[in-house]
Structure 1
Amino acid sequence: MAKRNLYLDTKPVDEAAALYLAALQRTVDIQYETIPVSEALNRVTRHATYAKYCSPLFNASAMDGIAVISQKTKDAAETEPVVLKEKEDYVVVDTGDPIHPPYDAVIMAEDLVETEEGVLIIASAAPWQHIRPIGEDIVAGEMILPSSHKIRPIDVGVLLSAGITEIEVVKKPEVAIFPTGTEIIEPEQTPEDGNIIESNSRMFENMVTEAGGAAHRFPPIMDDYKQIRDHIAEAVGEYDMVIVNAGSSAGTEDFTVHVLRELGEVLVHGVAIKPGKPVILAIVKGKPVIGLPGYPVSAYIGFENFVEPVLSMMGQTPAKRRESVTAYISKRLVSSLKHKEYVRVKVGKVGDKMVAAPLARGAGAAMSLVRADGFCVIEQNSEGVEAGDPVKVELYREKAEVENTVVIIGSHDLILDVVADMMPDRHKGMFVSSTHVGSMGGLMALKRKEAHLAPIHLLDETSGQYNISYIKTVFGDEKMALIKGVGRTQGILVKKGNPLDIGGIEDLAGCRYVNRQRGAGTRVLFDYKLKQLGMEPEQINGYDREAATHMAVAAAVGSDGADAGMGILSSAKAMDLDFIPIGPEEYDFAIPQSYLDLPHIQAFLEILRSEDFHRRLDELGGYSYEHAGDVVLI
């Protein structure tokens, strides 16, 4: 009498999966390969990838029209039009043409009146009007993609725009699929009495592909012990994973479990799930071999519960499914009645509600798609939505990922990219989303409960201390905390060799300057230094020209779009600029005390305190971290 397989001790699904994955993590090495970016769709990055070039590569006209010297247009008005002469006062430009000094503004063709004397204008042109500055979309040296990131079509375009042509990715797991059973036939064959048309393996092929693997389906194997053993033994030598379909149950011709016990180790035979009980989880020569039941629904459920997690581990990414959620928009969005508009948003769960923070809406802002978590759709015939209104968001990421995202809104620093890169690697399923609006903007977002953390570096002119007095002023008696971040040095960024011999802020009066936005801590410090020197903002040429990040300031200086700007040492190093120190400051994180115990906030604190984070700060340069991760209750 043939021997039956008995599995009297079935395991709970979660326990079986956890046991199997834990064993595989000890035996399976993740494989990597370098491939062309053009072939990288849906692949998973090994390391963070940084831009080689800026985009645009040069200061470019954003309109068809003429490039002018803004100073020569300052007196133009409807009552006193000004006539400009070609080559003397302007040059004709088309959209995308480079703009070179001395020209610093573009006037649209629609605003010009051609006369015999020249081109007539009736309004002055502001400096940098209708010009896309170098690095407006992508800045050389900034992180384009973090590690463990699944590459999307827009990512491929942005990588190529940034000069990246090859990228190291996780190698696709190669999966061998064997249908078994004397009674099964191929779909092309004519069935006879007792035959079953085999289809599960084709379903597995597509599920493997959808999960990021490379599927290799083989013809059916008869219910013969030696044939099954020989095929599996050969396959584990050539492929990363093997799926055996049917033959996993308790029948007298279900040989799979006996074969796997001979060839390797069976960790689980039978799980407490219906349908789908007869699942085999084995390891042969250090590789996963999974036996799935023959009934289609059971096979499908078994694949989802056991094969997909293994492929996710080997491919370093979970399966993605598009979801829609209701979120509350963080700022007012005005839209045209003529269009249905898709606004790119960052999404996170703050307290008991989803919050959607709009990203750049411009047609040239490709990086907003890379950073987006999804779309907020504004329907046609709507004028927009008000801040705080509920909106429908179509997610790029799974809802669980969004809910495990640390939402950071406030001052910019390169360390936010470092933390965002480290988070999913050190804490699987957790992420960081950062939006740069300046220190005061971050505190206001925190006050409106739109963020977990607000990075700030605000100097109290009276006490000379950083940050705490501002938190007390904004939040009053509310229980707040300050997570200590990094010490860093603020200074003046100038071209290599400091050609204008700038020694300090007092030397900026005759230079082209690029400032930070209102509410940014760097601008607060700059204003404080101006006041100390008895200088007026009007003395600074470019005081009203604003950049949103330290890297954008560095790009402007490095591209000859400005002579100087205030920023941090790491941004100067990234763009190969000289740096004139102005003074140290404290870059910290404001947070309500009620958020401190959230798992993803605890993960954030772990990273700030970690040696790996400190090592990466040393590589960037210009940071101290003695108190990083310390929590001060306010």
Structure 2
Amino acid sequence: MLGFDTIVAVDWSGGNDTGATPRKDAIWAAVNRKGLAESPVYLRNRQVAEEWLTALFQAEQTAGRRVLAGFDFPFGYPAGFGAAFTGSDDPLAVWDWLEQRITDTPKENNRFDLAGSLNLKLGSGKGPFWFNGLGRDVSGLARNKKDYANPFNEKRHCENLAKGAFTCWQMGGTGAVGGQMMTGLPVLARLRRQFDVAVWPFQPLDAAIAFVEIWPSLTVGAAPEGEIKDAWQVAEVARQIAALAPERLAEILAVDAPVEGWIFGLGFEDELNTPPLRNDCFALPPGVHWTPVEEALAVLQDRLSPVTGVETLTVPQALGRVLAAPVSALRSNPPLPNTAVDGYGFAGARGAGVHVLPLAQGRAAAGDAPRDLAEGHAVRVLTGAALPLGVDTVVLQEDVQLGDGTIRFSGPVKAGANTRKAGEDVVTGQEILEAGRRVTPADLALMAAVGMREIAVRKPLRVGILSTGDELVEAGETAKAGQIYDANRPMLMGLVTAFGHTCVDLGRAADDREDLRKRLDAASDKVDVILTSGGASAGDEDHMSALLQKAGAMTLWRIAIKPGRPLALGMWNGVPVFGLPGNPVAAMVCTLIFARPAMDVLAGALWSVPQGFDVPAGFTKAKKAGRREYLRARIRDGRAEVFASEGSGRISGLSWAEGLVELPEPATTINIGDPVRYIPYGSFGIGT
């Protein structure tokens, strides 16, 4: 029962009322409801915050929406504190105990006095709490850590793992959470009594409202210039949690810390701190009219980021998936020194001449544990066997004569001959695969060899394919005069599948703006990116670009490329849309050149550049200046030959070709035998 409709993130403060004007170092809250973010809310003091939270929870409860509410202060003290004052290790008993003792108004509270009295009750009056921020002395509470004594751990286990986390014993000062904790837990205790609440990780999250401990600085980077850090961070945390699939959220919440509590997202920082795509992520610099191919690719590489979630799979299940984190070896390969051949092992080198060594009984075979060998003896070893202790050299069995309990061979033999050293391939802890790599069969072998059982991978990118236009009919249907069969959708679906993504068929949309809008709305709930063909220019029936333009998130790229030119890029309900040309040849070329590397990044993979080769031309051509051209081509007799026609409507040329010849922007004349760059389809990740 871990599906939540509404995510709330709250940045708390233990200080006094901060006034009517929104400011930093105050209480801020952010709501993300069903993936839609609301503007952060400024709450000037804890009383206003409690009233706001009460109203919010009441409204969500009335609407039947489940809520996950995160608060940025510790939910538990280090082990032993609760038992010392409440007689119980139950951290929620501490909440109620504090609620009975804290007095709090917008202008003052007694947190420093309570901390001092707790220190005195423990006997020394010198800890665990410290820092007095008042203008008067407080009995039992030092202003600094001079003569400090703490009967408990300085930090909880989770805080020792979270770099930069503050101790809950510090009651004030920059970054301190002790005061926030003492003033925040009583508020949460009262809210628990008023609503159906479960507290993580102390209780099963089967209630209408879940309270979760957060620390925004753990998973959120620096705020953009001009933004209030606290306001921006809570909005980001709410977005991060809302973007998680229920099963992934369940994995992150699967924590066993029943006494001290835990910080949400600890151990998953890199995954959570993935910024969303902006509505202007495809925007080009002002004044750009014809965009060079390299500039367009640079914009995509710079502006896009992964949009896919993360899951854990066994190594065999991970074939074709994108690694979400680097993989490091759990064990060296080989784990022990071993023999590379069948032969006889012994210690040390042997010089020129004939050598005779006594032969020990038995043998060492692959899978046997290393055995001891008497000094000066030899032992039979089989390929792959761990070398017996003391053995570092092996002589081939073909070079040995067996005697009565001895072996005889001629030297010289170098020390270490015919053996493999432990870890000569991979050593324990070595990074063997980088994040963003798509797992290959060879990678499966490598990971298995070093002991990997499970790895974190990106979920497949879900790519929706939509064709537009009244002129289109499905292949096999009756085509009326003026109608054509839809060739783009099956082609694009094949390409997307070959790229390793999950393809979602969105069908065909008529030349009707409202119909297209409904299809985009429906698609944005079930795919990560949308590829459309047709309607991407600026004509009367180019509804795709018109809709994206009206949504305020569209850039019509006029790219200096042939075939192609118009490419409508934009965002629809947070989902990137690639509006490809309607011509099949141009649609395929633009998909290979632009959409393919962009989708790799969205899928969490590394930006990829297709490998091309300089080969002799088997054709002649006079190319004009201005556009980069891609010719359908194949290699025959060591030369690149191109399709007879450059017409963009000649679909047969796509099938005929086995790759593309890329001609740069400047004018050029190509003669037979001149070097040209040939990019095989395989370099784009597709077969011929």
TM-score (norm 1): 0.44
Larger of the two Rg values belongs to structure: 2
**Bigger relative contact order, structure 1 or 2, given CA contacts below 8 A and separation 6+?**
1
TM-score (norm 2): 0.41
